Amino acid sequence: MTNPDVLVVGGGIGGLGAAYALARRGLAVRVLEQAAAFGEVGAGIQLAPNCTRILDDYGLLDEAAALGVLPHAMIMRDAVDGSELTRLDLRDLERRYGHPYLVIHRSDLHTMLLRACERAGVHLRTSQSVVAYANTAEGACVTLADGRREEARVVIAADGLHSVARGLLSDDRPVSSAYVAYRGTTPTASGRGAEVDLSEVVVYVGPRCHFVHYGLRGGGLLNQVAVFESPKARAGEEDWGTPDELDAAFERTCDFVREGLPHMWRDRWWRMYDREPLMTWVDGNIALLGDAAHPPLQYIAQGAIMAIEDGWVLGEHLARRLAHDGTVDWPAVLAAYQAVRPEHCRRVLTASRAWGDLWHLDGTSRRNRNALLRERAIDDYSFVDWLYGPTALEPSEEPPMFTPVPLASKADPLTATCGVRRS
């Protein structure tokens, strides 16, 4: 391959997903990854029906299901007393949306997409650090740290939270939530892992903290995540999110949650950032994708899914505008992508922030939230219909968001709402 049709900068889940979506349509695609090897850091990831629908379209769903776990229920509990607040029946959810809810190890999903790219003929390069982007008369180019240039008709910037390409469109910076995530996996053959029902995805929501667990790798691993607000971060200190803060944040939680903390990896933690919604993603022949365009907080588990959706939408619009001679109407493809994706992802970013606020309430607000969630009918999908249905290809296909429910009681009226307003 000399100059490819498309350069994808970034070999994470979003970049590989986009590369596959375009290569399967017959384009010559090159991926530039800055690391010395392709790989993913982290543990579990949740894939809702709006993602498994795309994996099914790619012919990858059976492979993903074999690598992961198909849970039967998603349950929310109070982290202080351990009581159940609400649940989703994930088998009924699959019947409603036509595709399953799947949990999988991030590295397994990444490796699966990498293999798919290899089969599709994607040109994969490592140790390629991109420092600048520019449009050209024939398309777009990137400059690498060693001074070399790579050119293509279109460049897709999937270069993450600290995207260089985003600087073409905005001078904004990542926004710290002051929350920190600790993760850990443990075998399920004995001990803690053997005690947990792996047919469930469970989140314990607590005052300025929450705890999540579910199974991975066919039930061979238990994945656990502990998230909390860092007092050091709020105070402006540099050394924030340390293990002592982890233990202190969960002092008020129930026995089950506290007993999970020793199983966290304590030599690493993830500080949680997002960015303000960006409504323009395309600059000439350069387009943002994934966290470069829309890094969210993780509360509705849509970060990687949005990135996979971005690539699928590009591939679908490419297919509509691919002539018999192999030429592509790229301005139309990028315009269609720009027309539909930013608004959807704005909603996800905004809803993620609001959902995190709801999870982390204390005092009277916590009690009101718990009462509200306990009243929810198990077959009420109004809060997820806008997410889990088919991915929109046109703005007119984007469903309305849910109507917020007041988080209030007669004795103590509050102005907080459960989520974000319809927009």
* Nearest C-alpha neighbor of 379 from the set 88, 72, 48, 71: 88
DSSP SS3 for 160: coil
Helices (H) and strands (E) in the chain, counts: 12, 20
What's the confidence (pLDDT) of residue 413? 38
Radius of gyration of the chain (CA): 22
Residues 6+ apart with CB under 8 A from 108: 64, 67, 68, 216, 217
Which residues lie below 8 Å from residue 128, measured CB to CB, with a gap of 6+?
A: 32, 33, 34, 144, 150
What mean pLDDT, rounded, does the chain reach? Answer: 94
Measured distance CA(416)–CA(420) in Å, rounded: 10
- Taking only the tens place, the pLDDT of each residue in 56-68 is 999 999 999 999 9
Section 160-184 average pLDDT: 97
H-state helical runs in 321-381: 330-359, 363-374
Position 40 scores a pLDDT of 85
| pTM of the complete model | 0.94
Do residues 187 and 193 make contact, with C-beta atoms less than 8 angstroms apart? yes
Residue among 20, 133, 182, 214 flagged as catalytic: 214
Q: Which DSSP letter does residue 400 get?
A: P
87-100: burial string, b at 16+ Cβ within 10 Å, e else = bbebeebbebbebb
Four-CA torsion 46, 51, 53, 55, nearest 10 degrees: -90
224 by Cβ neighbours in 10 Å (0-12 / 13-18 / 19+) ranks as buried
HSE, side-chain direction, 13 A CA sphere, residue 179: 23
pLDDT digits (tens, 9 = 90+) for 199-254: 999 999 999 999 999 999 999 999 999 999 999 999 999 999 999 999 999 999 99
- Residue 43: Cβ within 10 Å count: 18
Q: Which two tokens stand for residue 273?
A: 């950032």
Q: Is 214 a catalytic residue?
A: yes
Which residue, among 78, 74, 44, has the nearest Cα to 358 in the 3D structure? 78
